[in-house]
Structure 1
């Protein structure tokens, strides 16, 4: 996406500031859209919508871009929360407006007229007032035995159903214990160990771990390429912590310090230029 593309005019200030900051981080990292998609897990089309202001990026996408560029994600996430609140209110306002128009066109059924002739014709004539009897109503002969029989059958059915459920519950509790084998205790595999063997190979420094590869790596990566970079950083006099093959905070700080000393772009990523300076 060209850097000169103008953001939509309807964006609120917080969303506009968020898109501008994300654009700046993307340009600073010197990554193409395809490289950005490969590193963050979001497609290039998605990033075009996010950076173009057509769609609000999710929290994970903002955190991923901040991690790649070595930037604190907290201010960006705060901007995103404010922008999301305004974004949701604007969407809810549009839906409410549409619903209000639909409600305005809903017709209510007409109320019947109080003077309708048909209503007057169906009004029953008043009957003489009856004095209620104080005697209780007598049960209908033959009804009580039928009710008792029906209640007994229902109670029996409920009891049988409850017994069946208890049997099924017991089978569920017993069967897995008889079939499932006891878990095996497996010892965790030890992490790989790396040894720095600093030497000049074809006029370039090497630690003898990743066979001279210059694969682009960054914060959160692991493996032999990270261990090779850690050894070369230590050779350059900047401690990355341990030689453990994990690109953590200490290694990130060491990479940035080396890039600043070498006059490179301080982004915390080991790209071709940083590898070349390390192997010097």
Structure 2
């Protein structure tokens, strides 16, 4: 397949990442239509990902690696590097001429797109503001005390405290209990609050360890070079509770 030239706005990190995506796509021998059939993402979404118009989500990267029979870890590390320097103006230009719903799995395309987009934009803005406030509070506890300010995001409350050089968010004191995809309850909420403190965005603090929370756990694991399995066990709890 003859590939189009990549957008000039992409820097070296973006070009290296998209180049590897193209290499895996060529190696798989699949067309865009075939990729649509074998993954939750549409052919038009894959066209944008593979031509550097839109940064693909982690789920799309993992799906392509699986199809090509490759380890997704190195490719996800390239994606992390590309994400830090991805030209958001390029993203905005690409999105302006396309349907934003195509970047979600086809099964999740909203029926009332204008309303869904407005709600999503408002939710993302609120989540970003609360995340920044929670992270600032956790990293800068009040003078003379060991407890930060409580904040409620979703169903649970994140109340950061420090004990024996460890951080707790007020939902669970777990240190080794395994929490993983589809886990629910206080342990999952504790993981979500601690991810916020590490400047990661697990979504609502609702006590549900869904795919988004799992993706952020994997990101933390990659950053700290521990096995990237998305499961919070003893080693990952230590990372989450570590006082920076």
Task: Mark yes or no: TM-score above 0.5.
Answer: no
TM-score, normalisation: structure 1: 0.32
